[in-house]
Amino acid sequence: VEFLYCDLASMKSIRQFVQQFRAKNCPLHVLVNNAGVMLVPERKTEDGFEEHFGLNYLGHFLLTNLLLDTLKQSGTHSHNARIITVSSATHYVGKLHLNDLQSRCSYSPHGAYAQSKLALVLFTYRLQHLLTANGSHVTANVVDPGVVNTELYKHVFWVVKVVKWMTAWLFFKTPEEGASTTIYAAVSPEMEGAGGCYLYNEERTKSADVAYDEELQRRLWTESCKMVGISDEASRLL
């Protein structure tokens, strides 16, 4: 195992990481997008993005796009390269505000978190559409890990923390259990060649209805390209 530093809240750090990775001339068979924050107070990344949207979504959007060439070169007809993005069941209640993606008008930690997780699902579906259209040997899927007992909950109210402490053994998954569906998407022979899926408990399931809105997927993609400074035309051509 070799560690390369990458701060998903920094566009500069992401670009530096990709440059370092490419310099190694290594193939890339699996990319797991799993960084995230939840219910943080209103604050911005160094690039001026609302933190949930900037870190949870835009960081992964840029990272994935910058690594697409390597992923395409690594995938073959019999062994596709795989992109797995970790979302959340919270996306079911999320609303995408294309006119206020930074939650400037009315900030809600819950709303901002849910929006970032919905954006990840929309992104995955759009990405798979583009990969298929291009004939690339790369698949993109999105995973719901379930409710997992991690430090992700450190910003919830103290009452919730107490309840979590008392009931985690009964209702929460362990980190190992929470990772199982991501690992399934990354290595299972059953997922070979399968893309555009929403997975929960190692099974394909239905995501929120709005996530299948192709026009919304396209508009989010275009806006995301502008925000991170990459060419939408180049992204569509992959």
User: Domain 11-235, CATH 3.40.50.720 — does that match?
Assistant: yes
- What are the E-state strand segments in 135-184? 138-144
Token pair of 235 as six digits? 């992204």
Taking only the tens of pLDDT, the chain with its 238 residues reads 899 999 999 999 999 999 999 999 999 999 999 988 887 889 999 999 999 999 999 999 999 999 999 999 999 999 999 999 999 999 999 999 999 999 988 899 899 999 999 999 999 999 999 999 999 999 999 999 866 445 554 444 434 434 444 454 445 657 677 688 999 999 999 999 999 999 999 999 999 999 999 999 999 999 999 999 998 865 555 5
What is the DSSP secondary structure assignment for residue 158, as one 8-state letter?
H
Supply the pTM of this predicted model. Answer: 0.88
What is the DSSP secondary structure assignment for residue 106, as one 8-state letter?
S
Residues in Cβ contact with 57 at an 8 Å cutoff, skipping those fewer than 6 apart: 116, 119, 120, 123, 224
Token pair of 189 as six digits? 């022979």
Token pair of 222 as six digits? 């275009």
Residue ranges covered by each domain of the chain:
11-235
Q: Is position 184 annotated as part of the catalytic site? A: no
| Number of Cβ within a 10 Å radius of residue 219 | 15
Residues in Cβ contact with 43 at an 8 Å cutoff, skipping those fewer than 6 apart: 51
Q: Which of 5, 92, 107, 113 is catalytic?
A: 113
Phi, then psi, of 51 in degrees rounded to 5? -60, -45
Q: Which of 58, 44, 10 shows the shortest CA–CA distance to 228? A: 58
